[in-house]
Amino acid sequence: MIDVLPLQPGHLPAIEALLDQRFGPARHNRTAYRLREGATPLPGSSFVAMDGDTLVGSLQCWPISLRSVAGARLPMILLGPVAVAADREGEGIGSQLVRASLAALDAADSPPVLLIGDAPFYGRFGFTAAATRQWQLPGPVDHARLLLRGPATGLPRIAWVEADSSAAKVA
């Protein structure tokens, strides 16, 4: 029996251990980490999956922003990393975490949600790379993995995705 619960600060050591297990210590060099620098996970849209007292999955969301050529900054949410313990894959835990997070973000009428990840997994939740082809990040990114949820209505075609810990105090 898996419980999907809001992330609490006390979960962080177990989350870090899980992320080391799934992504390795070099994960800190990834471009996504540069977007999260100085930010704390958004409490209302970050979740853990617990099997009793054992943390078997986690998903964190972060405030970021999208800066247009004209300099306007739009708040956005960076979703991820999502991780599930290697011996618990394929049980639907990752999907439960993504659904919980998106439901919380929708309920809070959140800004658009962006992630860097596998389109075959995230496509089922409404993420596509269609709008992000000309968005730049503070590091290398495979644009086929830079995925936005929902329509890009009102978002710039050319833009910079940046860290912004003050941009989105929602969910």
Ligand X SMILES: CC(C)(COP(=O)(O)OP(=O)(O)OC[C@H]1O[C@@H](n2cnc3c(N)ncnc32)[C@H](O)[C@@H]1OP(=O)(O)O)[C@@H](O)C(=O)NCCC(=O)NCCS
Residues that bind ligand X in the complex, under the rule CB under 6 A: 22, 80-84, 89-95, 117-118, 120-121
Q: How far is the CB of 162 from ligand X (least distance, A)?
A: 19
Nearest to 125 by CA among 158, 93, 141, 147: 147
**Looking at beta carbons only, is 124 or 157 nearer to ligand X?**
124
**Looking at beta carbons only, is 117 or 156 nearer to ligand X?**
117
**Burial profile 70-103: b = 16 or more Cβ within 10 angstroms, e = fewer:** eeeebbbbbbbbbbbbeebeebebbebbbebbbe
Q: How far is the CB of 92 from ligand X (least distance, A)?
A: 4
Residue with tokens 């011996």: 87
**Looking at beta carbons only, is 35 or 84 nearer to ligand X?**
84
Q: Which region holds residue 66: left if phi is over 0, alpha if psi is between -120 and 50, else beta?
A: beta
One-letter amino acid of 171? A
Please state, in angstroms and rounded to a whole number, the distance separating the CA atoms of residues 135 and 159: 5
Q: How far is the CB of 91 from ligand X (least distance, A)?
A: 5
Q: How far is the CB of 151 from ligand X (least distance, A)?
A: 23
**Looking at beta carbons only, is 3 or 89 nearer to ligand X?**
89
**Looking at beta carbons only, is 92 or 151 nearer to ligand X?**
92
Q: How far is the CB of 80 from ligand X (least distance, A)?
A: 4
